[in-house]
Structure 1
């Protein structure tokens, strides 16, 4: 079987895993993977030899001199290179039959993302996308209570930093929430309205989107990378109650009507509303994501965030970007 397929676990040897790209995110991929049981950490590759050497020394691992050198020694890789390089690097990985966890977004264009999905299907290997908020403690804790969300309000605000500014905030930050919205609502997108402006870069730095779904649900999503304070909050309204999730803290609350509330002689809201503090085991979301990827490679579970899901989130991101460009405030590239 090709490397990276479920046949790897059948050989009885550990899966050989490497990391491509050792910037801010890639460093943490390598940090976590090198300590995980049941795998052989095969090392790293970065196109910047000095950075690769620095990380290799810090983590006591091998820095390979070329992408090809690393790919000859692995069954699976995680890729955390700049977004414009995702498609090219991903195709090189999948073309060798190697399982791939690609950091979000899956690619910088929808055709590029679709090409990766096709190549993974042709080679029969795992393709997972790094939408790490799926593994957020608050999201995991809310899952048992979710029941047809009807309105979602998401705010993701961050201070400015140069990393990620090669693309608009829609692809850099908002795409996390677009993926969450698609997963939570699970309906076709009917309409997108958006606005946004560039402030510190030549791309859109703050954007707001109103997304209407075929089933009537609505999501209002705001993302900024020019805010003073860091905020990641998700509010969900559904027929059975209301969620308030703090994604930054991994905490959440659920408010729902008490059973038989119609018959209660209540004079205050708290007398008919039950407050549920949402709980889930504490764990680093990236660690959970990597463990999930490895289980999928071994054939122990389905991929949590498939290539198709990643492509769908990217397509919605470009619909938002197009809506921004059509708005009166548009003065930047998507």
Structure 2
């Protein structure tokens, strides 16, 4: 079978891992990596035995699919350009900076019958996949996503940078309309909010509380889900989950079996399979647009 020809646009702190994984995937030819930083592009190309480019347009006609791992404000331009050329795209989250740009990308993909997959990587986390089948009508969901300060994604705030992961997960799990929102945020080291919290109330009665920080002194990526018959706790980083149940006058704890795998590896394998088989991705452009819409509403409430 002919190999899927892939390119990676942007090989910064995350894009380099896209290049690493594609270079090792069966059935994939990493055609090239592209970055405006010539030294970086050449370094990554040598490491993964591929070609270096500094203009993404030089990959036109050479690839079936691309990962777009560039600053958010370039997603629309780069994504549209590749869709115009008949290339399937995996674009890092958030899908774009504005809803108008997202709508334009989605329309272009529909018109061209092409795939847009969006990099909400936690959907591919082995832990979330393991617990999803035992989640039943959650009453309360609590998320904490804390990170050390890194000089990346500074063109957006922490809501679009980090919190959007949890927004996407919760929208998928609850599958109900948000009817009330209370958000707050604080600028600490950048021009955008670096710490944020939001409380969401859904039409079906579920409440969620999400906290995100990119100026913490330690990392944490956890979700806790409370439902009538159980409480489920997942550590995304460790891919460890426990379920707590009431048994008479006691509470029991049981570790949930999880077959661990690097989440980005799962995500990129899924993208390649979608390109090969022309299948709908697990995280579609439409779902990513909804997560973006919610994130923008939260950001607007924080910065009226």
In the alignment, is residue 312 of structure 1 matched against residue 290 of structure 2? yes
Aligned to 1:275: 253
More off after superposition, 227-236 vs 53-62: 53-62
Query: Offset at 1:106?
Result: 0.2
Q: Could you tell me how far apart the structure 1 residues matched to 2:220 and 2:302 are?
A: 22
Q: Could you tell me how far apart the structure 2 residues matched to 1:163 and 1:66 are?
A: 21
In the alignment, is residue 233 of structure 1 matched against residue 211 of structure 2? no
Aligned to 2:161: 172
Q: Could you tell me how far apart the structure 2 residues matched to 1:147 and 1:276 are?
A: 17
Q: Could you tell me how far apart the structure 2 residues matched to 1:189 and 1:98 are?
A: 34
Which one of 6, 15, 20 corresponds to residue 4 of structure 2? Answer: 15
Q: Could you tell me how far apart the structure 2 residues matched to 1:90 and 1:148 are?
A: 37
Q: Secondary structure at the match of 2:51?
A: coil
In the alignment, is residue 253 of structure 1 matched against residue 234 of structure 2? no
Aligned to 1:303: 281
1:151-230 aligned within 5 A: 151-230=140-219
Residues 287-325 of structure 1: CA distance to partner in whole angstroms, max 9, x if unpaired? 000011111112275310000011000000001011112
Which one of 32, 39, 45 corresponds to residue 21 of structure 2? Answer: 32
More off after superposition, 45-54 vs 93-102: 45-54
Q: Greater CA radius of gyration, 1 or 2?
A: 1
Aligned to 1:262: none
Aligned to 1:285: 263
Maintained 8 Å contact 1:45/1:63: yes
More off after superposition, 299-308 vs 242-251: 299-308
Q: With structure 2 as the length reference, what TM-score do the two structures score?
A: 0.97
Query: Offset at 1:66?
Result: 2.2
More off after superposition, 285-294 vs 156-165: 156-165
In the alignment, is residue 98 of structure 1 matched against residue 83 of structure 2? no
Query: Offset at 1:71?
Result: 2.2
Maintained 8 Å contact 1:178/1:317: yes
Which one of 115, 126, 133 corresponds to residue 144 of structure 1? Answer: 133
Q: Secondary structure at the match of 2:172?
A: helix
1:31-70 aligned within 5 A: 31-70=20-59
Q: Could you tell me how far apart the structure 2 residues matched to 1:269 and 1:240 are?
A: 13
Q: Secondary structure at the match of 1:145?
A: coil
In the alignment, is residue 76 of structure 1 matched against residue 65 of structure 2? yes
Maintained 8 Å contact 2:115/2:280: no
Q: Which runs of 5+ in 2 are unaligned?
A: none
- Aligned-residue RMSD, C-alpha: 1.3
Maintained 8 Å contact 2:37/2:54: no
Maintained 8 Å contact 1:192/1:212: yes
Matched pairs, number: 304
Q: With structure 1 as the length reference, what TM-score do the two structures score?
A: 0.88
Maintained 8 Å contact 1:158/1:226: yes
Q: Structure 1 residues 64, 229: closer, same or farther in 2, change over 3 A?
A: same
Q: Structure 1 residues 103, 299: closer, same or farther in 2, change over 3 A?
A: same
Query: Offset at 1:257?
Result: 3.8
Q: Secondary structure at the match of 2:188?
A: coil
